[in-house]
Amino acid sequence: MTSTARAVLEAFDLDAIGTHSGRVVVFADPETSLPRAAKRADKLTKGAVARAVASDAFAKLKPGVGLTLGWPAGLQAEALHLIRIPAKPDAKTLRAAGVCIGKAHGPQPCLVCADTLPIGALAQAALLRAYQYEAQKSDPKPPFGPIHFMARSPDTQRDALAQAEALARATHLTRDLVNAPANILTTTSFAAQIETMQALGLKVEILDEAAMEALGMRALLAVGQGSESPSKLAILQWHGADGPPLAIVGKGVMFDTGGISLKPALGMEEMTMDMGGAAVTVGLMQALAERRARAHVVGLVGLVENMPDGRAQRPGDVVQSMKGDRIEVINTDAEGRLVLADVLWYAQTRFAPSAVINLATLTGAIIIALGHEKAGVFANDDALAAAFLQAAADTGEGAWRMPLDACYDPLIKSRIADVKNTGGRPAGSITAAQFLQRFVKPGMPWMHLDIAGVALTKTESPYAPKGATGWGILALDALIRAKFESR
C-alpha cells in the first residue's frame, strides 16, 4: 500500500530532545544566536551543534536546507537534523525546510522542534514529501513513522496543521490515482472509488454511456468506443456556500494508446497518467470536503479509455459534440480535447457556474514549451489567470501563462466539418486550447491548465519523489480560498 506520514502536534518539551530515539530536527542560523532547542541539543552533544553552525558547510547552505549528524553522542536519537532557518522565515523557506524533513524521513518517528515557528507550511511540505507508492510491490518498504511537531503554543497551531494534513491527503490521493496501473484503476473502479467519497459529504453522480448518449455527448463517447471499459462521467458537488458554483473539469483518459493513430511503443507505459486532470479534480474535491470549505464547487471528470479496436473511431471520422459542433477527427491521439469538449458544455449547461477551470494532460507540445517545471495556463479572463498564477507562486507550484488568440484558429479549420481536432505540430498546445475555447459559452470566465509536463516526472519534483506529483491541489485550493470562498 501507499506509505505516507502522520503528523502529531505536541507541547514543546526540551527534555524530549535528549530522549527521542528517532530523528530529531532543530533549526539554527549562523547569523543569530542558537534557538533554545538547538541550544539544548548543543549542550547534550558537548558543543557539536555550535561547531556545525559555525562551519563553512553550514554557512553555504541555502535557507531551508540542512545537514545531518549521525548517531550524535549525548542523544538517544539515530540522527540530529540541523536545518538552516532565519529568525523570521518566510513561507518559501518553511516549505523548503519541510521538504528537507520529509525527504530524510523514514520508518522511525521524527521529532521536529518547531517551538514558535508556524507549523502549517512546514508540516504540509514535510507530509507532502514523505510519500512512497508501494501498492504494487510484493515486498513494500516499511511505512513512514509519525512526525511529531513540538510547538510552544500547540492549541494555536491545530487548525493550521489540520488544513495542511487535508491538503497532503488530497495530494497523496491524486498521486495514488496517477501512479496506479490501468488494469487496476479502470473507468469502472475509478467511478466506484469516487462514489465512496459521499461519506465525506460530497454529492456524487455517475452517468453511464446510455445517459451520455441521451445528452448527445458523442465526442466523448467516440473516444471510448474502442475499449471494453465503459465510458463514464462522474460529478462531485461540494455545496459549502450559496450561489453559482465554480466548475472544475478533469480529463480522465485512463489509458491512452493513441487509438488508431497508435503511439510509439517507447514510453507508452506512462500513459496511465493521462487521467491526471481527473485525479487532481477528485483530490481537490476531497480537500474541500475535508476542510469544510465555504465554497460551492462542482467537479466533473470524463472517464474513458482510448484503445485501437474494430469499433474504434478512425482518422477522418466526423463526430458531433453535445454543443452541436461537428468535429473532424484528424488524429485519434488528440482525444482528450474531445472528452473535455462535451464535459465543458455539460458543466455550463447544467450548473451555470461562475467560472470554469479544466485540467488535462493534454499536449506533448506544452512539455516542449515549458519542460516539467511549469504547467501551461490558458485563460479568457485576465483576473482569473492572474489570481491563479499568484496562488501557484504562493504555494510553490510552477505555472506560466500561454497565449490564446483567434489568429491560431485557421490551423484547426476543417474542410468538411466545423473544426478539426488538431492543427498539427505548430503551436500544438495553443491550438488545443483554441479548440477547447469553442466549447466555452460567451462571457464565461474560463481557464485551461495543460498539466502534461507536471503531472508525472522522471526525477523528483519540489514536493514529491519521482513519479506522480499531485501538482495543482495546492494552487487550486489557494485560488478557491482567495477568490471563490465566502468570508
Which residues are part of the catalytic machinery? 263, 337
Strands (E), 259-306: 296-306
**Contact indicator for 276, 456 with CB cutoff of 8 Å:** yes
Q: How many residues does the chain have?
A: 487
End-to-end CA gap in the chain: 39
Taking Cα atoms as reference points, which of 294, 132, 147, 306 lies closest to residue 228?
306
| Alpha helices for 377-421 (secondary structure H) | 382-395
Reported in sequence order, the residue ranges of 285-383 that DSSP labels E, i.e. its strands, are 296-306, 318-320, 326-328, 355-360, 375-379
* Distance, CA of 204 to CA of 298 (rounded, Å): 10
Rounded Cα–Cα distance for residues 186 and 182 (Å)? 6
With contact defined as beta carbons under 8 Å apart, do 292 and 383 qualify? no
Q: In angstroms, what CA-CA distances link 413 with 114, 328, 362, 419?
A: 59, 9, 19, 5
Copy the grid coordinates of residue 222.
467516440
Q: Measure the CA angle with vertex 398, ends 395 and 401; round to 5°.
A: 115
Alpha helix ranges (H) inside 33-90: 36-44, 48-53, 56-59
Report the alpha-carbon distance of residue 249 to residue 253 in Å, rounded.
13
- CA gap 480, 359 in Å, rounded: 15
CB atoms within 10 A of CB 208: 12
Look-up of cell digits 474535491? 285
Asked if residue 272 lies in contact with residue 182, where contact means CB atoms within 8 angstroms, the answer is yes
304 with 255: CB under 8 angstroms? no
Q: What are phi and psi of 48, to 5 degrees?
A: -65, -35
Q: Where are the alpha helices (DSSP H) in 144-246?
A: 158-179, 187-195, 209-215, 218-224
Q: Counting Cβ atoms within 10 Å, is residue 394 exposed (0-12), middle (13-18) or buried (19+)?
A: middle
Cell triple for 411:
490551423
Q: Is 286 left (phi over 0), alpha (psi -120 to 50) or beta?
A: alpha
Return the DSSP state at 76: -
